[in-house]
C-alpha cells in the first residue's frame, strides 16, 4: 500500500472515531494493521475478553512471528487457563490446555508439562511459582504491564503505537477543499451551491444533482482562493479514489493497483492515464500486506510470507525475486538522474555486418556473455552469433519436434505449408534458456550451455494461430514463460516442465506484446493488442486491472528501463503515426511524449533503452536517439546506410553494442569505445586452432575457400570466410550455403600440437596489487560487487576493505580492471566495517560473508555475532545470532533477500528470516562444520558442503533432505581433519562445482552424480580455493605453492598455469600464496586473489591475447554434461 493510501486509512479512523463508530474503528485498526490502540487493548484485557484480545492481536502479529509475539500469546492463554482453574472449571481448563497452550509444547516441552500438572492440584497456588497469585483483577493488571512491555519491544509494533497528529475533522477538510476546487471549475459558479451528494463531481448546472441555492452540507463553508485545475492531481492518482465521478472513473495508480490484487471492474475510457480502477468494495482497499513503510517486503503476491511484518533494517533489495530486468545497482551517481553519460557513449561506429539467410525479425543479446547475439528471421531460422570471432556458432530452422503431440488445428497447417516466421527471440534472465515465438502457434524453449551447445528443452503448443510475443518472468519464485497470440489470450507456462499455469482473457483483438515486471513484492504483466488497448494482469486469473488506449490506438510495445524504475512504450498506428512516450506511474498518466518520429511509418517502430539514460528507435532508415529526460531528438545516424525503413534494434546489457537489421537480410553491429575494446580483446578466439606453427598442414574441405585471416574492422561477413568457423549444424540436411566450414583433419595428432600455456613473467599478463595502507592481515574472504565496480575483502582481523574504481579517461566504464589502480574507499565518517568477535580467538574463527544483490548490504561474521552492514555508510544496521554456535557460511536466498541460509560451527544449517528475526527451520545432516552453501533457483534446492567432505541436497520448498554424498578422496591423498569443501552452481543451475583441497569435481544436481573429477599434481600443494568465471566457461583454481590454474569448465582440462612469479615480487623468505579467488561478474577473463600476506591482486590476460590460454582442439564445444569420467592434463583420468 502506498504511503498516501496508508494516510487515508488514518483519516478514515479519525472520522469514524469522531462519528462514534467505535466497533468499526477497532475493526479497521485490526484489519489494516496500521495502528495498535493500546487503550482499547487494555480495556479488553482488563475485562477478560480473551477471544477479542486475540482477534485484535491477530491483525498485527501471529503466535510464531517472533519470540516477543510468542511470549504475548503465551501470557494471555496462561492467564485464561489459570482463571478457569481458579473457578474450578476443569473442563474449560482442559479445553484451553489442549487447544490454546499445546502449541507452545514444541518450543518448551518441560514448561507445558508443568502447566499440565496444575490440573492435578486442588489449588494451583500450591505450585511455588504461583503461590503469590492473588485475585483475578490484580493478576490481570500485573500481566497487562508485562504485555505492554512486550508489545513495545516487539519490532512488528514499531511505528504502530502512536496515532498521527492530525487536526480535527481532517478528512472533512480535504473533501471541502476538493469541492472548492470543483466549484472553481464551474462555468458559472454560484454563490451558494447545493451540495447534495459526494458520489459525483459538483457542478452548478441546473440539471446536475449538485446544483445551487441550498447551503452546503459540509462542515466548512466554501472559502478562499482555489488553485488552478492542474494543481491538484486527483486523489485516485495516489492509489485510492473513494470520490470518483460516475461516468468515467479516474483510475488509481500502478502502486495502488498492485497493492490490491482483488477482482475489480475495469471501465473503459477512450483516453486517459495508464492507471487502475478502484475496487467497489471499500474494505478491499484495506486488506493489504501490513508492511511498515520503512521496510520493503520482497515476497510475491502469492507468497505465504506476504503478511509477515518487516524488521526495521529490512533490506531495500530488489529482489531477486528475480526480476525480469537484471542490472546490479552500483554506488553513487548510478541513478538515471545523476548519470554522467554523454551522447558520445552511444554505440555509433559500424564494426561488422552479419549476413542472415532471410530478413531479421527479432534479436537479443545474451545477458551475461554480452558478445553473444541471438537472431530470429522471417524464414524461421535461429542463429547464435559470437561477435568476438564473428562466427555463427549455432543454427536451427523451424521444425516441429513432436508432431503427434501437436493440436489438430496445427496439423493441416503444417501439411500445407511447413514453414513459419519468428516473431520473437529472447534470453532468460540468467541466459541459460532462450525462447522462440513462431507465427504458427508453437513456442520453442532451448537450453544454452555456452559456445554452440544449444539443446531442445520445451515445445509448447501455445496459441491458436500466431504467437506474437513471449517473455520470461518469476511469479511465485518460479521461472515462467509468458506468451500472447492471435487468439487474443495471454498464457503463462512453467519454464521447466512446460505446464500451463495461467490463461488471461479480456482482449478484443490479437494480443501484440507482453511486458512482465515487478514492483516491490507484486508481479504483474502488461499486455497490448493490435487495436491499441493496454491491459494489466496479476497472476491470479481474476481479470485485467486496466483497460486503456495506447497513444494513437497503436500497436505498442512496453519496456522498463534497466533499473526497473521508468516505464516507456513505443507503437505505430494503422495510419502510420508513431508514438514514443514515458509513463508516470505515480500519477497514472503519460509523463512525456518524445518528438522526432516520422510520419507514415511503413511498419511498427522498434525501440530499446540503455544505461538508464538513453532511448533508441529504428525509424526512417535511421537509428534515432533520445535522452530519457529530454523530449527532443538527441541525434540520429544511418549506420553507413542500408537500413530498413523500420529496422529492428537491440542494445547489449552494458549499452556498448547495438545490433540493427538491414535491408539485405543482415545485422549491423555498432559499438562505442568500450564495445570496440571488448570485441578486439576477444577477436582472436576464432584463430586459436591455427596457432600451431608452420609444420601443421590443414586440409581444406570442398565447401568454401579459405580467405585472409586478417580482416579489417568494419568488414562484412560476406567479405571474408573465416578459416575456423565453429558452426553447429543441428538440423541435419539443412542447406549450408551461407555457413562457413569447420576445418578438421582426423588424422592429425592434435595432442602433440597443443601446448599448456605457462605464465611465468609479469610481462606475460596484466596484474595489479591493490593499494592498502591499513594493517595487513591474511584475506579470508573476497568478492566482487555485483556491479563490477568494486572488490570487498574480509581480513582475518574481522575488518572489511572495499576498493572502488573511479570513472576517468583511462577507465571509462569505472569497472574493476588491472590497468588502473582503484581507491581504498572509506565513508566520510572514517568508520570501519568490523565484525563482532566476542571472546573468539581470531585464529580459530571461520570468517564468512554474503553480499546483497544490489550491493547495498553485506552480512558478515568472524566467529562472533552476525553483522549487517550498510555498504555506503559502513554503519552496522544490526547484529544477531551470538555464538555458540558461530556462523561459518552465509548465503542469501536467490529469490527472497530476507531469507538467509546460515551454516554453523555445530554442523547445522539455520534458515533464518531477517525480516521477522526468526529461525524458520534447522537442517541437520552434516557431521562437521558447514563450509559451503549454494542455491539453485531452477531446481529449487540448496546444496550444502561441510568439513566432513559431505554434500547434502535440501528442497527449498519444505527444506527436506533429498540426498547426500561424500566426496571421493583420491588414493594416496590424506585430507586435513577440517578440510573445507566449497560448492558453486554453474550458470545452468544444474552442474555443481565442488572444490576440495585434493580435487575439483563437477556434480550434476539434484542426484549428485559425479560427472568429472580433476586431481592436480602433488607438487602444486593443496588446492586453496576455486571459482567459476562469470560465464561458467572457465574455472580459476588457486594452490598453496602460489600458482593459479585455469581449467576449461566443460572438460576440466588445465589450459593455463599462472605461476606466482608473474604477479608476486620475488622474496624467498616470504611464503605468500592465495587463500581465495573471486571472478569478475561480467569480465570472464578477470579474477582477483586474496593473499596470505593481506594483499589483493587483480589479474587479466594481455589485451593482445584476450584469454587465458587455449583448450586442446578436440575438447572444444563439449558441454559439461556430455563427457563423463575425469579429465586431467597432469594425471591419468580417475
Whether 179 has a pLDDT exceeding 90, the answer reads no
DSSP string, 670-733: EE-HHHHHHHHHHGGGGGGGG-S-TT---PPPSSS----S---TT-BGGG---SS----B-SSS
Vertex 231 angle, CA 209 and 535, to 5°: 75
Q: What is the pLDDT of residue 703?
A: 32
Residue 485 belongs to what H/E stretch? strand 480-485
Whether 31 has a pLDDT exceeding 60, the answer reads yes
User: Any bridge partners for residue 201, and if so which?
Assistant: none
| Distance in angstroms (rounded) separating the CA atoms of residues 384 and 392 | 6
pLDDT band of residue 407 (cuts 50, 70, 90) is low
264 versus 1060: the higher-pLDDT residue is 1060
Q: What is the pLDDT of residue 411?
A: 57
Whether 321 has a pLDDT exceeding 70, the answer reads no
How many C-beta neighbours within 10 Å does residue 695 have?
Answer: 6
Is residue 163 within 8 A of residue 25, CB to CB? The reply is: no
Whether 1068 has a pLDDT exceeding 80, the answer reads no
- Per the omega criterion (within 30 degrees of 0), is the bond before 884 cis? yes
The dihedral over CA atoms of 1041, 1046, 1047, 1049, expressed in degrees to the nearest 10, equals 130
What values do phi and psi take at 433, rounded to 5?
A: -135, 160
Whether 233 has a pLDDT exceeding 50, the answer reads no
Mean pLDDT, rounded, for 880-900: 90
Residues with Cβ within 8 Å of 733's Cβ and at least 6 positions away in sequence, in order, are none
Detail the DSSP E strand segments found in 895-1016: 896-904, 909-913, 918-923, 930-936, 941-946, 950-955, 961-966, 981-985, 991-996, 999-1004, 1009-1014
| Distance in angstroms (rounded) separating the CA atoms of residues 514 and 875 | 42
Q: What is the pLDDT of residue 721?
A: 33
Q: What is the pLDDT of residue 60?
A: 93
Give percent of the chain above pLDDT 70.
77
| Distance in angstroms (rounded) separating the CA atoms of residues 821 and 581 | 42
Can you say how many angstroms the Cα of residue 15 is from the centroid of all Cα atoms in its chain?
Answer: 42
Number of H helices, E strands in the chain: 14, 57
Q: What does the pLDDT look like over 659-687, one tens digit per residue?
A: 999 998 999 999 998 888 888 766 544 44
Please name which of 304, 309, 264, 254 lies closest in space to residue 284, comparing C-alpha atoms.
Answer: 264
Q: What does the pLDDT look like over 753-772, one tens digit per residue?
A: 678 899 999 999 999 999 99
Is residue 298 within 8 A of residue 896, CB to CB? The reply is: yes
Is the pTM value of this prediction over 0.85?
no
Written as nine digits, the cell of 485 is: 497470440
Q: What is the pLDDT of residue 273?
A: 39
Q: Which of the listed ranges 102-106, 844-848, 950-954 does the model predict with the highest average pLDDT? A: 950-954
Q: What is the mean pLDDT of the chain?
A: 79
**Interhelix angle for 22-32 vs 50-57, to 10°?**
50
pLDDT band of residue 341 (cuts 50, 70, 90) is low
Residue with cell string 601443421: 696
pLDDT band of residue 1070 (cuts 50, 70, 90) is confident
Written as nine digits, the cell of 757 is: 600455456
Mean pLDDT, rounded, for 177-194: 78
Q: What is the pLDDT of residue 132?
A: 84
| Distance in angstroms (rounded) separating the CA atoms of residues 930 and 841 | 19
| Cα dist from 655 to 140, 362, 562, 719, whole Å | 67, 18, 10, 27
Q: What does the pLDDT look like over 371-391, one tens digit per residue?
A: 999 999 999 999 999 998 888
Q: What is the pLDDT of residue 283?
A: 33
| Cα dist from 926 to 418, 672, 951, 994, whole Å | 56, 52, 8, 16
| Distance in angstroms (rounded) separating the CA atoms of residues 228 and 679 | 56
Whether 333 has a pLDDT exceeding 50, the answer reads no
Mean pLDDT, rounded, for 1012-1029: 88
Please name which of 372, 470, 472, 369 lies closest in space to residue 422, comparing C-alpha atoms.
Answer: 470
719 versus 453: the higher-pLDDT residue is 453
Residues with Cβ within 8 Å of 165's Cβ and at least 6 positions away in sequence, in order, are none
Q: Which of the listed ranges 23-27, 294-298, 707-711 does the model predict with the highest average pLDDT? A: 23-27
Instruction: Give the three-state DSSP class for 7.
Output: helix
Whether 844 has a pLDDT exceeding 70, the answer reads yes
Whether 232 has a pLDDT exceeding 50, the answer reads no
Mean pLDDT, rounded, for 596-625: 89
Q: What is the pLDDT of residue 726?
A: 33
Give percent of the chain above pLDDT 90.
50
Start-to-end CA distance of the chain, whole Å, equals 59
Vertex 1078 angle, CA 1074 and 1081, to 5°: 160
Q: What does the pLDDT look like over 767-826, one tens digit per residue?
A: 999 999 888 889 999 999 999 999 999 999 999 999 999 988 888 888 999 999 999 999
199: left (phi > 0), else alpha (psi -120 to 50), else beta?
A: alpha
544-548, 698-702, 888-892, 978-982 — which is least confidently predicted?
698-702
| Distance in angstroms (rounded) separating the CA atoms of residues 450 and 1049 | 10
Q: What does the pLDDT look like over 845-861, one tens digit per residue?
A: 899 999 988 888 899 99
Q: Which of the listed ranges 46-55, 215-224, 303-312, 686-695 does the model predict with the highest average pLDDT? A: 46-55
Q: Which of the listed ranges 128-137, 698-707, 729-738 does the model predict with the highest average pLDDT? A: 128-137
Whether 417 has a pLDDT exceeding 80, the answer reads no
111 versus 336: the higher-pLDDT residue is 111
Whether 713 has a pLDDT exceeding 50, the answer reads no
User: Any bridge partners for residue 944, and if so which?
Assistant: 933, 952
Amino acid at each position: 500500500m502506498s504511503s498516501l493510501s496508508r494516510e487515508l486509512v488514518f483519516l478514515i479512523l479519525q472520522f469514524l472515531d469522531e462519528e462514534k463508530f467505535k466497533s468499526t474503528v477497532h475493526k479497521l485498526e485490526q484489519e489494516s494493521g496500521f495502528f495498535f490502540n493500546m487503550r482499547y487493548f487494555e480495556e479488553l484485557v482488563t475485562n477478560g475478553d480473551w477471544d477479542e484480545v486475540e482477534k485484535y492481536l491477530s491483525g498485527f502479529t501471529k503466535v510464531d512471528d517472533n519470540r516477543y509475539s510468542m511470549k504475548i500469546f503465551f501470557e494471555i492463554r496462561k492467564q485464561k487457563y489459570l482463571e478457569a482453574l481458579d473457578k474450578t472449571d476443569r473442563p474449560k481448563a482442559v479445553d484451553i490446555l489442549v487447544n490454546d497452550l499445546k502449541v507452545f509444547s514444541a518450543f518448551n516441552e518441560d514448561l507445558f508439562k508443568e502447566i499440565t500438572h496444575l490440573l492435578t492440584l486442588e489449588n494451583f497456588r500450591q505450585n511455588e511459582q504461583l503461590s503469590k497469585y492473588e485475585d483475578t483483577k490484580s493478576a490481570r493488571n500485573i500481566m497487562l504491564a508485562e504485555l505492554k512491555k512486550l508489545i513495545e519491544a516487539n519490532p512488528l509494533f514499531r511505528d504502530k503505537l502512536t496515532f498521527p497528529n492530525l487536526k480535527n475533522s481532517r478528512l472533512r477538510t480535504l473533501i471541502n477543499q476538493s469541492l472548492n476546487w470543483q466549484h472553481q471549475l464551474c462555468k458559472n459558479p454560484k454563490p451558494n451551491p447545493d451540495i447534495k451528494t459526494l458520489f459525483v463531481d459538483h457542478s452548478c448546472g441546473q440539471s446536475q444533482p449538485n446544483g445551487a441555492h441550498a447551503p452546503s452540507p459540509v462542515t466548512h463553508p466554501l472559502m478562499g482562493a482555489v488553485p488552478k485545475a492542474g494543481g491538484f492531481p486527483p486523489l485516485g492518482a495516489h492509489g485510492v479514489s473513494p470520490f470518483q465521478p460516475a461516468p468515467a472513473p479516474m483510475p488509481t495508480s500502478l502502486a495502488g493497483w498492485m497493492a490490491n490484487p482483488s477482482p475489480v471492474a475495469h471501465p473503459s475510457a477512450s483516453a486517459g492515464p495508464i492507471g487502475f480502477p478502484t475496487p467497489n468494495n471499500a474494505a478491499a482497499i484495506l486488506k493489504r500486506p501490513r508492511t511498515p513503510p520503512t521496510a520493503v517486503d520482497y515476497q510475491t503476491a502469492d507468497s505465504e510470507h506476504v503478511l509477515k511484518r518487516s524488521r526495521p533494517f529490512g533490506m531495500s533489495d530488489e529482489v531477486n525475486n528475480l526480476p525480469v530486468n537484471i542490472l546490479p545497482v552500483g554506488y553513487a551517481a548510478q541513478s538515471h538522474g545523476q548519470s554522467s553519460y554523454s551522447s558520445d557513449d552511444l554505440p555509433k561506429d559500424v564494426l561488422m555486418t552479419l549476413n542472415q539467410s532471410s530478413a531479421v525479425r527479432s534479436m537479443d543479446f545474451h545477458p551475461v556473455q554480452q558478445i553473444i547475439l541471438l537472431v530470429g528471421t522471417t524464414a524461421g531460422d535461429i542463429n547464435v552469433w559470437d561477435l568476438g570471432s564473428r562466427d555463427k556458432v549455432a543454427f536451427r530452422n523451424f521444425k516441429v519436434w513432436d508432431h503427434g503431440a501437436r493440436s489438430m488445428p496445427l496439423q493441416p497447417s503444417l501439411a500445407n505449408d511447413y514453414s513459419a516466421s519468428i516473431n520473437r527471440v529472447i534470453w532468460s534472465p540468467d541466459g541459460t534458456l532462450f525462447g522462440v515465438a513462431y507465427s504458427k502457434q508453437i513456442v520453442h524453449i532451448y537450453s544454452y550451455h555456452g559456445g554452440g551447445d544449444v539443446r531442445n528443452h520445451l515445445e509448447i503448443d501455445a496459441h491458436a494461430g500466431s504467437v506474437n510475443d513471449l517473455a520470461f518472468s518469476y511469479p511465485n519464485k518460479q521461472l515462467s514463460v509468458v506468451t500472447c497470440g492471435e487468439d487474443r489470450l495471454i498464457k503463462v507456462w512453467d519454464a521447466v516442465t512446460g505446464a500451463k499455469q495461467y490463461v488471461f482473457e479480456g482482449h478484443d483483438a490479437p494480443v501484440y506484446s507482453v511486458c512482465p515486471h515487478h514492483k516491490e513484492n507484486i508481479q504483474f504483466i502488461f499486455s497490448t493488442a493490435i487495436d491499441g488497448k493496454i491491459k494489466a494482469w496479476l497472476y491470479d486469473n481474476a481479470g485485467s486491472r486496466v483497460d486503456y488506449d495506447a497513444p494513437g490506438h497503436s500497436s505498442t510495445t512496453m519496456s522498463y528501463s534497466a533499473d526497473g524504475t521508468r516505464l516507456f512504450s513505443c507503437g505505430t498506428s494503422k495510419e502510420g503515426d508513431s508514438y514514443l512516450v514515458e509513463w508516470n506511474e505515480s500519477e497514472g498518466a503519460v509523463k512525456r511524449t518524445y518528438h522526432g518520429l516520422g510520419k507514415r511509418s511503413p511498419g511498427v517502430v522498434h525501440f530499446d533503452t540503455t544505461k538508464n539514460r538513453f532511448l533508441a528507435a529504428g525509424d526512417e532508415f535511421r537509428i534515432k536517439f533520445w535522452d530519457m529526460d529530454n523530449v527532443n531528438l538527441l541525434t540520429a545516424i544511418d549506420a553507413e546506410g542500408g537500413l530498413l525503413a523500420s529496422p529492428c534494434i537491440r542494445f547489449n546489457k552494458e549499452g556498448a553494442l547495438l545490433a540493427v537489421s538491414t535491408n539485405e537480410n543482415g545485422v549491423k553491429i555498432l559499438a562505442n569505445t568500450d564495445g570496440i575494446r571488448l570485441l578486439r580483446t576477444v577477436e582472436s578466439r576464432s584463430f586459436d586452432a591455427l596457432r600451431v606453427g608452420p609444420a601443421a598442414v590443414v586440409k581444406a574441405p570442398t565447401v568454401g575457400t579459405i580467405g585472409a585471416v586478417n580482416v579489417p574492422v568494419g568488414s562484412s561477413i560476406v567479405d571474408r570466410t573465416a578459416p575456423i568457423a565453429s558452426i553447429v549444424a543441428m538440423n541435419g540436411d539443412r542447406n549450408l550455403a551461407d555457413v562457413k566450414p569447420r576445418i578438421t583433419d582426423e588424422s592429425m595428432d592434435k595432442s602433440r600440437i597443443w601446448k599448456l600455456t605457462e605464465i611465468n613473467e609479469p610481462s606475460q599478463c596484466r596484474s595489479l596489487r591493490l593499494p592498502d595502507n591499513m594493517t595487513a592481515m591474511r584475506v579470508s574472504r573476497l568478492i566482487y560487487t555485483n556491479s563490477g565496480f568494486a572488490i570487498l575483502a574480509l581480513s582475518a582481523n574481522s575488518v572489511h576493505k572495499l576498493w572502488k574504481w573511479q570513472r576517468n579517461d583511462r577507465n571509462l566504464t569505472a569497472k574493476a580492471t588491472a590497468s588502473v589502480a582503484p581507491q581504498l574507499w572509506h565513508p566520510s565518517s572514517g568508520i570501519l566495517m568490523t565484525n563482532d568477535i566476542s571472546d573468539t580467538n581470531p585464529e580459530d574463527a571461520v570468517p564468512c560473508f554474503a553480499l546483497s544483490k544490489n550491493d547495498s548490504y553485506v552480512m558478515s561474521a568472524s566467529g562472533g555475532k552476525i553483522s549487517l552492514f550498510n555498504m555506503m555508510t559502513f554503519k552496522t544496521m544490526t547484529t544477531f545470532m551470538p555464538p555458540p554456535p558461530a556462523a561459518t557460511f552465509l548465503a542469501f536466498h536467490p529469490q527472497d533477500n530476507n531469507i538467509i541460509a546460515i551454516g554453523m560451527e555445530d554442523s547445522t544449517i539455520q534458515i533464518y528470516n531477517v525480516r521477522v528475526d526468526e529461525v524458520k527451520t534447522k537442517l541437520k545432516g552434516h557431521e562437521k562444520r558447514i563450509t559451503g552453501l549454494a542455491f539453485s533457483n531452477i531446481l529449487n534446492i540448496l546444496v550444502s558442503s561441510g568439513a566432513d567432505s559431505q554434500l547434502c541436497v535440501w528442497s527449498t520448498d519444505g527444506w527436506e533432505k533429498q540426498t547426500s554424498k561424500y566426496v571421493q578422496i583420491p588414493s594416496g591423498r590424506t585430507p586435513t581433519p577440517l578440510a573445507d569443501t566449497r560448492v558453486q552452481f554453474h550458470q545452468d543451475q544444474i552442474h555443481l562445482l565442488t572444490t576440495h583441497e585434493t580435487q575439483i569435481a563437477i556434480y550434476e544436481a539434484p542426484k549428485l552424480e559425479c560427472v568429472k573429477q580433476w586431481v592436480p599434481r602433488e607438487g602444486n600443494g593443496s588446492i586453496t580455493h576455486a571459482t567459476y568465471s562469470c560465464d561458467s566457461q572457465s574455472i580459476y583454481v588457486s594452490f598453496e605453492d602460489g600458482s593459479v590454474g585455469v581449467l576449461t569448465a566443460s572438460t576440466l582440462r588445465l589450459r593455463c598455469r599462472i605461476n606466482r612469479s608473474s604477479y608476486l615480487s620475488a622474496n624467498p623468505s616470504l611464503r605468500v600464496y592465495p587463500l581465495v579467488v573471486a571472478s569478475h561478474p561480467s569480465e570472464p577473463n578477470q579474477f582477483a586473489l586474496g593473499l596470505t600476506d593481506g594483499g589483493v591482486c587483480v589479474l587479466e590476460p594481455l589485451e593482445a591475447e584476450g584469454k587465458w590460454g587455449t583448450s586442446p582442439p578436440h575438447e572444444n564445444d563439449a558441454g559439461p554434461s556430455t563427457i563423463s569420467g575425469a579429465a586431467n592434463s597432469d594425471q591419468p583420468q580417475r
